[in-house]
């Protein structure tokens, strides 16, 4: 696929994003020829993506801080411009076949923001359980982990900055507590009732008042 066709494909996907319906992400596993890309805005100012070669755009702000996963051509350059608070940076990324990548726009005093890319290859699907991921994207929280709130039960332990761990979990109502260096930090995050067969991500992000957690349901844009 040449660059013009790739830009057109991304343009169409972005334009369809606003109409996307929430669905469970890949109940039968991903097609090995497909790749998937989403964006996370880790700031209170809007983040906008402008796709290369078109007028298509994607805006993330407020409660809409995490996009759906956009299907993109595997192993091909995906280009554009990311803008936030008067600062802009080029987007230039490739996603492998079967891979789910998240571009996180983190605060940066010098550049306005910086991009961190989290890559994940999905594990086996279990329709009887929920799938929960923990993404660590704040270096100020060492040995990051999650515990079930009010219990001494670790769901994730010592997740390195810039990485992700995922596990299957029973479809229950759950609140999680952030742990940094074996110490509880902040208030618990209520995940609500997890549903069997669906995938979720809890993202650790830097905030003005310290690390905080953001919940996203992993869904695919159609």
79 lies in the same domain as 185:
no
pLDDT at 8 over 50: no
58 in a structural domain: yes
69 lies in the same domain as 152:
no
20 lies in the same domain as 74:
yes
22 lies in the same domain as 55:
yes
125 in a structural domain: no
> Which of 89, 120, 151 corresponds to the end of one domain?
120
Structure confidence at residue 29 as a pLDDT band (50, 70, 90):
very low
8 lies in the same domain as 114:
yes
Across the chain, mean pLDDT equals 86
222 in a structural domain: no
135 lies in the same domain as 116:
no
106 lies in the same domain as 147:
no
Q: What is the CATH number of the domain that holds 110?
A: 2.60.40
pLDDT at 211 over 60: yes
135 lies in the same domain as 93:
no
> Which of 120, 154, 188 corresponds to the end of one domain?
120
182 in a structural domain: yes
> Which of 120, 151, 173 corresponds to the end of one domain?
120
94 lies in the same domain as 13:
yes
147 lies in the same domain as 210:
yes
Domain membership of residue 49 as a residue range: 3-120
41 lies in the same domain as 66:
yes
Q: How many domains does the chain have?
A: 2
pLDDT at 9 over 70: no
Q: Model-level pTM?
A: 0.84
**Tens digits of per-residue pLDDT, 134-160?**
999 999 999 999 999 999 899 999 999
Average pLDDT value for residue range 196-220: 95
11 in a structural domain: yes
183 lies in the same domain as 203:
yes
Distance separating alpha carbons of residues 222 and 213, to the nearest angstrom: 27
- Edge-to-edge strand order for the sheet containing 154-159? 154-159, 144-148, 173-180, 183-193
């Amino acid at each position: 696929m040449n660059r013009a066709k790739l830009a057109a494909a991304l343009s169409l996907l972005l334009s369809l994003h606003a109409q996307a319906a929430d669905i469970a992400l890949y109940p039968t596993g991903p097609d090995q020829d497909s790749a998937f890309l989403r964006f996370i805005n880790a700031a209170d100012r809007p983040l906008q993506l402008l796709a290369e070669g078109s007028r298509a755009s994607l805006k993330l702000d407020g409660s809409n801080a995490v996009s759906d996963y956009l299907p993109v051509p595997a192993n091909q350059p995906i280009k554009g411009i990311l803008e936030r608070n008067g600062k802009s940076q080029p987007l230039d990324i490739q996603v492998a076949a079967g891979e789910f990548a998240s571009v996180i726009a983190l605060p940066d005093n010098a550049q306005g923001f910086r991009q961190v890319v989290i890559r994940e290859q999905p594990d086996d699907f279990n329709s009887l359980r929920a799938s929960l991921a923990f993404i660590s994207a704040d270096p100020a929280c060492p040995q990051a982990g999650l515990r079930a709130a009010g219990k001494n039960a670790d769901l994730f332990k010592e997740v390195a900055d810039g990485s992700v761990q995922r596990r299957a979990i029973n479809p229950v109502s759950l609140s999680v507590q952030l742990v940094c260096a074996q110490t509880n930090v902040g208030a618990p995050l209520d995940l609500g009732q997890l549903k069997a067969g669906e995938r979720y991500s809890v993202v650790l992000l830097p905030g003005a008042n310290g690390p905080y957690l953001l919940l996203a349901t992993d869904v695919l844009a159609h």
